[in-house]
C-alpha cells in the first residue's frame, strides 16, 4: 500500500572515531526512504535549496522512490547539520545547525499523494507535522517522530499531534522527558494515554520496547553490531524499515507490528556500519532477509 514520508534533506558533516564525512547526504526523509524502499514504493516529500549538491533522482536510482513531492527553491539554502560522536557513540553532539529551507513554508503534498494509506511524519516542529497531515485524506496508519527540543518548547503542539497519529516512535531520553518519569514501561503507558495506540521506545544498543493501548508488549534487542562507524540516520532507517514492512502487507495488527520492529532493527544495523547512506546502498534485500532470520534465531528460546 502507498507509503508517504515527509522530512528533512540535509548536507551533513559527521565526525566519529572512524573518521570524518564532510558535506555528505543526510536528512530524515532521505534515510527513511532508502530504508523503506527495500520493502515498498515510497512517496517522498521534501525541500532543498539551489545549493544542494546532490541529485536525488540519481541517489534513488533503481529504488522505487517517487520524487514528485521534492521541491527545489532557487532562492533558498539547504538544511545543514554538523555533529560528532565520541566514546560509545550513543549520542550525537550537535556542533552547528543551519535550518535554512526548513525554517520556511512546508512543501505541498501533491494531489496524487493525498490518498496515501501509510504516512510517516519525520522529526520537525509538531505544528508543521500537523499541517502536513491535514493535507492527506483518510490515511489508515500514521506514525511520527520527534526530538527533545519540541518536547521542551512545543509541548502543546506535540500533544495535539499525538491525538492525531497511530504510532509514536521516540528514544528513551525523550520518552522520559515527555512522560516525566524514569521507568520506561511507565513512560510508555503515559504516552499512550496522550493519544497514539502504539508507542515504540528506542534504546540504542539495548534495542527497543513497543507497547499498545490493548496492553500488548514487545521487547527486542538490537542487532549485535561489532563495529559502529556512524549512527547518524539509524532512527530514521529504523522507522523506514518499520513502516516499509507495514505498508508492504497493509496490516497493522500487533503480530505485524512486531515483525515490523524487527525489520526496522535490521535495516538500522546496516545504516550504522558506514558513513551517510553507504551502509544501505551497499546491500540488497537478500542481505536484510538473511540478517532478519539470524536475528529471529538469536531471540528465540
d(CA 41, CA 82): 30
Query: pLDDT at position 301, please?
Result: 85
Strand extents, DSSP E, 60-140: 65-73, 79-84, 93-98, 118-121
CATH number of domain containing 229: 3.40.1190.20
Nearest to 260 by CA among 247, 280, 248, 246: 246
Q: What is the pLDDT of residues 67-98, one digit of tens each?
A: 999 999 999 999 999 999 998 888 889 999 99
Distances in Å between the alpha carbon of 157 and those of 127, 256, 281?
6, 30, 36
pTM metric for this prediction: 0.96
* pLDDT tens, the chain, 301 aa long: 899 999 999 999 999 999 999 999 999 999 999 999 999 999 999 999 999 999 999 999 999 999 999 999 999 999 999 999 998 888 889 999 999 998 899 899 999 999 999 999 998 889 989 999 999 998 999 999 998 888 998 999 999 999 999 999 999 999 999 999 999 999 999 999 999 999 999 998 899 999 999 999 999 999 999 889 999 999 999 999 999 999 999 999 999 999 999 999 999 999 999 999 999 999 999 999 999 999 999 999 8
What pLDDT score was predicted for residue 290? 98
Which structural domain range is residue 37 located in? 3-298
> Helix H segments across 27-87?
28-36, 56-59
Match 516512535 to its residue by C-alpha cell. 169
- Predicted confidence at residue 233, as pLDDT, reads 95
Q: How many CB atoms lie within 10 A of CB 140?
A: 15
**How many domains is the chain partitioned into structurally?**
1
Shortest CA distance to 199 belongs to which of 184, 177, 181?
184
Amino acid at each position: 500500500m502507498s507509503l508517504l514520508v515527509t522530512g528533512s534533506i540535509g548536507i551533513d558533516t559527521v565526525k566519529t572515531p572512524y573518521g570524518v564525512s564532510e558535506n555528505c547526504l543526510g536528512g530524515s526523509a532521505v534515510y527513511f526512504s532508502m530504508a523503506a524502499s527495500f520493502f515498498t514504493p515510497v512517496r517522498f516529500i521534501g525541500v532543498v535549496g539551489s545549493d544542494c549538491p546532490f541529485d536525488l533522482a540519481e541517489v534513488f536510482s533503481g529504488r522505487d522512490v517517487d520524487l514528485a513531492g521534492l521541491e527545489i527553491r532557487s532562492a533558498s539554502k539547504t538544511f545543514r547539520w554538523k555533529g560528532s560522536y565520541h566514546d560509545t557513540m550513543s549520542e550525537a553532539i550537535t556542533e552547528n545547525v543551519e535550518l535554512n529551507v526548513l525554517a520556511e513554508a512546508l512543501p505541498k503534498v501533491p494531489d496524487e499523494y493525498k490518498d496515501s494509506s501509510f504516512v510517516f511524519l519525520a522529526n520537525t516542529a509538531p505544528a508543521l507535522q500537523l499541517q502536513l497531515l491535514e493535507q492527506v485524506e483518510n490515511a489508515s496508519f500514521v506514525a511520527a517522530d520527534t526530538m527533545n527540543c519540541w518536547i521542551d518548547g512545543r509541548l502543546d503542539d506535540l500533544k495535539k499531534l499525538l491525538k492525531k497519529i497511530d504510532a509514536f516512535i521516540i528514544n528513551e531520553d525523550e520518552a522520559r522527558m515527555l512522560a516525566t518519569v524514569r521507568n520506561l514501561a511507565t513512560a510508555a503507558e503515559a504516552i499512550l494515554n496522550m493519544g497514539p495506540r502504539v508507542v515504540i521506545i528506542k534504546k540504542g544498543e539495548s534495542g527497543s520496547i513497543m507497547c499498545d493501548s490493548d496492553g500488548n508488549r514487545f521487547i527486542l534487542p538490537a542487532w549485535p553490531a561489532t563495529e559502529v562507524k556512524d549512527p547518524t540516520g539509524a532512527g530514521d532507517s529504523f522507522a523506514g524499515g518499520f513502516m516499509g514492512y507495514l505498508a508492504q502487507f497493509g496490516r497493522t495488527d500487533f503480530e505485524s507490528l512486531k515483525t515490523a520492529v524487527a525489520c526496522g532493527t535490521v535495516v538500522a544495523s546496516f545504516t550504522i556500519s558506514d558513513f551517510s547512506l553507504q551502509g544501505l546502498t551497499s546491500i540488497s534485500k537478500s542481505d536484510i532477509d538473511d540478517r532478519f532470520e539470524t536475528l529471529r534465531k538469536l531471540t528465540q528460546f
